[in-house]
Amino acid sequence: MTTTLEITDNTAAFVEKAPLERYVAPEKPSLVGMPRAALADALGELSVPEAQRKMRVQQLWHWIYVRGFTEFDGMSSVSKELRAALAEKFTLARPEVVAEQVSVDGTRKWLLRLPGETQGERPHEVECVYIPDSERGTLCVSSQVGCTLTCTFCHTGTQRLVRNLTSGEIVGQVMAARDKLGDWPGGVRPSDGVIPAGDRCITNIVMMGMGEPLYNFESVRDAILIMADGEGIGISKRRITLSTSGVVPNIERAGAEIGCLLAVSLHAVNDELRDTLVPLNRKYPIADLLEACRNYPGASNARRITFEYVMLKGVNDSIEEAKALVRLLKGIPAKINLIPFNPWPGSKYDCSDWDQIEKFSQVVFDAGYASPVRTPRGRDILAACGQLKSATEKLSARERMALRAMAMTD
């Protein structure tokens, strides 16, 4: 069941899917993704005296986010009584991983199962992708099931169902990935694929999976603040990037309330084309978007804003457009990421030819932007957002098992 929401305050209105806020909450909520203040309140409900709550939160925080515990048992600094009381009301559950694919280049993709809208109905699913190299491990995290926006080159935009993820489901992706990677003290790393040197498998986070993070602001904010908390997961805000298609009013808010790095999906240098590629542009045109970027708190040469530009053959990939792109971004501390289009079944675009991408990138490079082309990763496992989900949606249970088995042995 999908409802649509007509935006009427603009002459060239665009149709947006309405997000579904309902879902079957688990009987026992997970403490994963609960901000410290909510955790303190939860302890209050269990009659922990107020004077002790801060200290208890600190202890739990350590077991959950530094040690990766999935059960209250074994939390040796927490009294037996409190552990039992916690276990009665709460869990430390993360989203269930229902499929895993490992690419020949070490990229790992997980399909995660989340509670659906009604009891007994099929569960919701999102993806999370791990992209390792020798120095860093980047986790690409989803913020919504599907997306209310309808960018014409994006497969997630075609998905019918949209639901905002909770903060717990967003942080839960990091926790589930760390579980799978053995990325906890004393954990066992996978024997296949590349894992970066150093003591942590996940060093960077990008909110570039399914969904528009700035349309799920509070949950994304709470989740990022938890990921960045120095006494827990501890991934610095300078290593967390939020990608937006251009929800202008929330860009300033993201700067003030989150403070992570920003990436903007630009994809076109004039409003006419951007209106079709990224229909949200009809509401927030390029000039407004770039103004918000110019004012983004904390943007500097050391903390540049990334502009993403998907290379679509014959659509946005001319040399004139490359020149216009560097002109447009003049004065903004920017990085440019040229993304080869990742085609999906039924998509109406082709990826630009490689020599055209090189010519385009040369213009960008000559203007002073380093290494502008993002190497496509995990192509053999369909790494564009939304594709693992749709591939498995059509599969029977047996085929899903086969897919999982294949992913294990690939």
Report the SS3 class of residue 262.
Answer: strand
Distance CA 16, CA 121 (A): 24
Q: How far is the CB of 83 from ligand SAH (least distance, A)?
A: 39
**CA nearest 20: which of 30, 5, 6, 38?**
5
Q: How far is the CB of 343 from ligand SAH (least distance, A)?
A: 7
316's contact among ligand SAH, ligand SF4, none, with CB below 5 to 8 A by partner kind, is: none
- Here the tokens at position 285 are 């045109």
Q: How far is the CB of 213 from ligand SF4 (least distance, A)?
A: 9
For ligand SF4, the binding residues (CB under 6 A) are 147, 149-151, 154, 156-157, 211-212, 245, 265
- Here the tokens at position 297 are 């708190």
Q: Name the residue nearer to ligand SAH (CB basis): 30 or 243.
A: 243
- Span near ligand SAH by CB under 6 A; candidates 17-25, 28-36, 148-156, 188-196: 148-156
158's contact among ligand SF4, ligand SAH, none, with CB below 5 to 8 A by partner kind, is: none
Q: Name the residue nearer to ligand SF4 (CB basis): 82 or 162.
A: 162
Cβ atoms of residues 334 and 263 within 8 Å: no
- 334-373 residues in contact with ligand SAH (CB under 6 A) are 339, 341-342, 344
- Here the tokens at position 136 are 């860093």
Residue with tokens 């905002």, as numbered in its chain: 164
Distance CA 73, CA 17 (A): 43
385 is catalytic: yes
208's contact among ligand SAH, ligand SF4, none, with CB below 5 to 8 A by partner kind, is: ligand SAH
* Strand segments (E) across 332-373: 334-340
Residues contacting ligand SAH: total by CB under 6 A: 18
Q: Which of 125, 127, 169, 321 is catalytic?
A: 127
Residue with tokens 């490079």, as numbered in its chain: 365
Report the SS3 class of residue 264.
Answer: strand
The radius of gyration of the chain from alpha carbons, rounded to an integer in Å, stands at: 22
Q: How far is the CB of 130 from ligand SAH (least distance, A)?
A: 16
Interface residue with ligand SAH, options 385, 388, 403, 407 (CB under 6 A):
385
Q: What are phi and psi of 2, to 5 degrees?
A: -125, 130
Cβ atoms of residues 352 and 341 within 8 Å: yes
Q: Distance from CA of residue 27 to its chain's centroid?
A: 26
339's contact among ligand SAH, ligand SF4, none, with CB below 5 to 8 A by partner kind, is: ligand SAH
Interface residue with ligand SAH, options 70, 138, 166, 244 (CB under 6 A):
244
- 149-168 residues in contact with ligand SAH (CB under 6 A) are 151, 153-155
Q: Name the residue nearer to ligand SAH (CB basis): 40 or 388.
A: 388
Cβ atoms of residues 278 and 286 within 8 Å: no
- Signed CA dihedral, 274, 276, 280, 285: sign only: positive
151 is catalytic: no
Cβ atoms of residues 192 and 102 within 8 Å: yes
Q: How far is the CB of 137 from ligand SAH (least distance, A)?
A: 18
- Span near ligand SAH by CB under 6 A; candidates 62-70, 146-154, 189-197, 222-230: 146-154
Q: How far is the CB of 300 from ligand SAH (least distance, A)?
A: 22
Q: How far is the CB of 308 from ligand SAH (least distance, A)?
A: 4
Q: Name the residue nearer to ligand SAH (CB basis): 101 or 216.
A: 216
Burial of 51 from C-beta contacts in 10 A (0-12 / 13-18 / 19+): exposed
144: left (phi over 0), alpha (psi -120 to 50) or beta: beta
Indicate the length of the chain as a whole number.
Answer: 410
Q: Name the residue nearer to ligand SF4 (CB basis): 21 or 199.
A: 21
Query: Which residues are at the interface with ligand SAH (CB under 6 A)?
Result: 151, 153-155, 208, 212, 243-245, 265, 308, 310, 339, 341-342, 344, 384-385
Active site residues: 127, 385
